[in-house]
Amino acid sequence: MLYTHRKHIILSSIIKILSQITKFYLISFFKSPKERITFTNYHQISSPISI
């Protein structure tokens, strides 16, 4: 019982991570090249603040 529960947690976490990655790629894919540059710049700017 405990084993299957742990397996379910691992699977759900993998699915969650995959969905976040696909969401990120979809957002970056649908943006125009100009917006894509600002999108990456925003991430570069916001990353030092979060650390």
Which pLDDT score, from 0 to 100, does residue 16 have? 93
pTM of the model: 0.43
For 28, other C-beta atoms within 10 Å of its C-beta total: 13
For residues 1 and 36, what is the distance between their CA atoms, to the nearest angstrom?
46
- Domain count of the chain? 1
Range of the domain at 12: 2-50
CA distance 18 to 48: 24
* pLDDT tens profile 1-51: 567 788 889 999 999 999 998 888 877 777 665 655 555 565 565 555 444
- Strand intervals (E) in the chain: none
Amino acid 23: pLDDT: 86
